[in-house]
Chains A and B, each alone.
Chain A
Amino acid sequence: AQSVTQLDSQVPVFEEAPVELRCNYSSSVSVYLFWYVQYPNQGLQLLLKYLSGSTLVKGINGFEAEFNKSQTSFHLRKPSVHISDTAEYFCAVNPLRGGSNYKLTFGKGTLLTVNP
């Protein structure tokens, strides 16, 4: 079984400041990792994903995340945020192998609020 921990439920930042949203996971098998974003009154949108290869993954809207296998982390970063980045961000994993390799396990989400 897998579990995902998003350490911060809320992160307030000022516009143009850098931000890091933290995600740690637990799994007995290797996993794929995802960040999804939910803008107000919209559905979940895929921000980026790590499947294999380079541990630094770039996504949409200037976000990037780094997979750290030894620390079982997949933190999301952006060097300079905009008001429009205000949203809820979800980290998720699914196992590479096994009978449930289609099943996403999500963290509880981090609400990013960007203030002017």
Chain B
Amino acid sequence: GAGVSQSPRYKVTKRGQDVALRCDPISGHVSLYWYRQALGQGPEFLTYFNYEAQQDKSGLPNDRFSAERPEGSISTLTIQRTEQRDSAMYRCASSLGGRETQYFGPGTRLLVL
């Protein structure tokens, strides 16, 4: 079946612009996660949804970052007033439940100029 999909795959934006990154999880997966991976680093946790409820947003770096999953399926990670330090690979993952194996999408590479 289809895996986790993310769009866009690449995004170049100018500093100060808002960006929205989309994640479409595997069908039937109730848990969804966002991670951020800087160059030369491993992925770092941003936020976690169980169905439509955002259970943990402790990894979001500041209030410019927000995420939603209004119908318990597709999720959007929004970064307002982007800064150059926001440049990274943003990864989405989904799982059957909160303690189940996480399956990752291809990621969105964001470059802020």
> Among the listed B40, B42, B56, which residue makes an inter-chain contact with A90, where contact means beta carbons less than 8 Å apart?
B42
A43 at the interface (CB under 8 A from B): yes
The segment from B14-22, B61-69, B76-84, B104-112 found at the interface with A is B104-112
> Among the listed B33, B41, B91, B105, which residue makes an inter-chain contact with A102, where contact means beta carbons less than 8 Å apart?
B33
- Compute how far the CA of A100 lies from the CA of B105 in the bound complex, rounded to whole angstroms: 22
B31 at the interface (CB under 8 A from A): yes
Q: B45–A104 contact, CB under 8 A?
A: yes
A residues less than 8 Å from B35 (CB atoms) = 104
Q: A4–B106 contact, CB under 8 A?
A: no
A residues less than 8 Å from B107 (CB atoms) = 43
| Residues of chain B at interface, number, CB under 8 A | 26
Q: B106–A104 contact, CB under 8 A?
A: no
B residues less than 8 Å from A106 (CB atoms) = 42-44
Q: A43–B105 contact, CB under 8 A?
A: yes
Q: A44–B98 contact, CB under 8 A?
A: no
User: Smallest CB–CB gap between A109 and chain B, Å?
Assistant: 6
A45 at the interface (CB under 8 A from B): yes
User: Smallest CB–CB gap between B7 and chain A, Å?
Assistant: 13
> Among the listed B31, B43, B44, B104, which residue makes an inter-chain contact with A45, where contact means beta carbons less than 8 Å apart?
B104
B residues less than 8 Å from A102 (CB atoms) = 31, 33, 48, 55-56, 95, 98-99
Closest chain A residue to B98, Cβ basis: A102
A42 at the interface (CB under 8 A from B): yes
Tell me whether A109 and B48 are in contact in the complex, defined as CB-CB below 8 angstroms, given that A36-B104, A102-B33, A103-B56 are known contacts.
no
A101 at the interface (CB under 8 A from B): yes
B103 at the interface (CB under 8 A from A): yes
Residues of B within 8 A of A (CB): 3-4, 31, 33, 35, 40-45, 48, 55-56, 91, 93, 95, 98-99, 101-107
Give 5 new A-B contacts, CB below 8 A, not counting A36-B104, A46-B101: A44-B91, A49-B101, A100-B56, A104-B35, A108-B42
